[in-house]
Amino acid sequence: MADDGATGTTDADPTTGDDADDRPAASQPDTSLGNRLGVGELVQWMFLYGDRWVLSVLLLAGVFVATLALIQVDLVTPAEAGDITAISAALIGGMLPFITVVLAINQLILSEEFGSTGTFLERLEETREYRERIEDHTGYRPTPAEPAAFLRVLIEAKRRTALGLQNICQGAPADLRGDIEAFIANTDSHDERAMDTLEDAHFGTFEVISVILHYNDPWQLQIVRRLRERNRIALSTDADRQLERLEDLLHDIHVARQYFKTVYMQQELADLSKILLYVGFPTLLGGAFIVVSYGNLLALELHPSVYAVVVATTITALFSPFAVLLAYVLRIATIARRTAADFGPFVLQQELPEEETDAGDSS
């Protein structure tokens, strides 16, 4: 059950044996601006690994501090009731479209849930056939119902098949044996890391989606197909059959990754719509209260620092739906972007290790 060493973390062609970075499941080389600036881990945390609640709180803390700073330099004046009510009213107006956002998200999620009995029977039959296919390819019966365990079984079967190929080709020509050993060297450690990550993981946590996200089965599939084509004459019947089984398992892993990714993103969108409602309505009421009563609050002639805190808190609260939306959409959009062209043997150019791209150009 191999977790693809080509999973994206590999910076090199499988024939080079270079190790990849230390992400949860063999991620692809990241040439992003964050890495070039030396803040790659922070960017990864913000966009993917960080808790969305923590990120939202940090964003709102930044808004609070920035508002206090603007008050200090008199760019925001708590003593002017008209200015504060105008800012609050503008932010409240900006929040109203969030109702449309919530409805659109729920419509998107529910559109996948509606259907006739025939539709559900067809889905059930397709799922049963897929499970039977997995059981035939892995020899594991019945396949686990829990997504993390299911994916782990597939990766373990792929890794075992790859190691079996290595054993079968012990007496093969040196070039073929070297290519296979290099492929194993690049993928085996990443497979083990992915299996370790999935062993105690539960679906819904980002540990599972991190394996799904970084596992580069299209790249591995391309290498396996290339090995099979370049060494067609040198391959024994058993080795060719093992490579075919490896291709089948990589196809199975790809289907599972895409399905679990889709389910995870549906859950994220559902959570987002629910949180926007939880945050939006209290914030809307609080903002409306400030609009109608801030003038009376000024008439109490409290200490200026009290008004500064009230204004900063109000503006921060009114920004809270925007912060939540930003935190969740950053992750959802990043996952969608990273897997946008991840379909079968088609791989974005930037996702291929540089040496592999060069080898493909020269062949």
**Confidence (pLDDT) at 323:** 93
| Pairwise CA distance, residues 148 & 159, whole Å | 16
- Band (pLDDT 50/70/90 cuts) for residue 154 is very high
Residue 33 has pLDDT above 70, yes or no: no
| Pairwise CA distance, residues 357 & 10, whole Å | 13
| Pairwise CA distance, residues 199 & 193, whole Å | 10
Classify residue 59: in a domain, yes or no: yes
Count of domains observed in the chain:
1
- Band (pLDDT 50/70/90 cuts) for residue 38 is very low
Token pair in block for residue 250: 């990589």
Residue ranges of alpha helices (H) inside the chain are: 33-36, 40-44, 52-72, 81-95, 97-111, 117-138, 147-168, 174-199, 206-214, 217-230, 237-299, 304-338, 354-362
Classify residue 20: in a domain, yes or no: no
Token pair in block for residue 238: 């058993």
Q: Which domain holds residue 282?
A: 33-362
Classify residue 253: in a domain, yes or no: yes
Measured in degrees and rounded to the nearest 5, phi and psi for residue 203 equal: -65, 135
Burial of 53 (0-12, 13-18, 19+ CB in 10 A): exposed
Q: Please compute the mean of the pLDDT values over residues 39-50 and round it to a whole number.
A: 81
* Torsion over CA: 344, 348, 353, 357 (sign): positive
**Confidence (pLDDT) at 28:** 42
Minimum mean pLDDT among 2-11, 85-94, 104-113: which range? 2-11
Mean pLDDT of the chain: 78
Cα-Cα-Cα-Cα torsion 297, 299, 304, 306, nearest 10 degrees, comes to -20
Token pair in block for residue 236: 């024994």
Q: What is the pLDDT of residues 309-351, one digit of tens each?
A: 999 999 999 999 999 999 998 888 888 877 765 555 555 544 4
Classify residue 28: in a domain, yes or no: no
- Look at 205 and 151; give whichever has higher pLDDT: 151
**Confidence (pLDDT) at 264:** 86
- What would the DSSP string read from start to end of 190-240? HHHHHHHHHHT--BTBHHHHHHHHH--HHHHHHHHHHHHHHTTTT--HHHH
- Look at 206 and 124; give whichever has higher pLDDT: 124
Q: Please compute the mean of the pLDDT values over residues 273-287 and round it to a whole number.
A: 87
Classify residue 25: in a domain, yes or no: no
Residue 20 has pLDDT above 60, yes or no: no
Classify residue 306: in a domain, yes or no: yes
**Confidence (pLDDT) at 58:** 95
Classify residue 10: in a domain, yes or no: no
**Confidence (pLDDT) at 48:** 83
Classify residue 18: in a domain, yes or no: no
| Pairwise CA distance, residues 230 & 361, whole Å | 15
Closest CA to 185 of 351, 22, 27, 19: 19
pTM: 0.74
User: Which residue shows structure tokens 């993390």?
Assistant: 148
Residue 204 has pLDDT above 80, yes or no: no
**Confidence (pLDDT) at 15:** 39
**Confidence (pLDDT) at 353:** 42
- Band (pLDDT 50/70/90 cuts) for residue 95 is confident
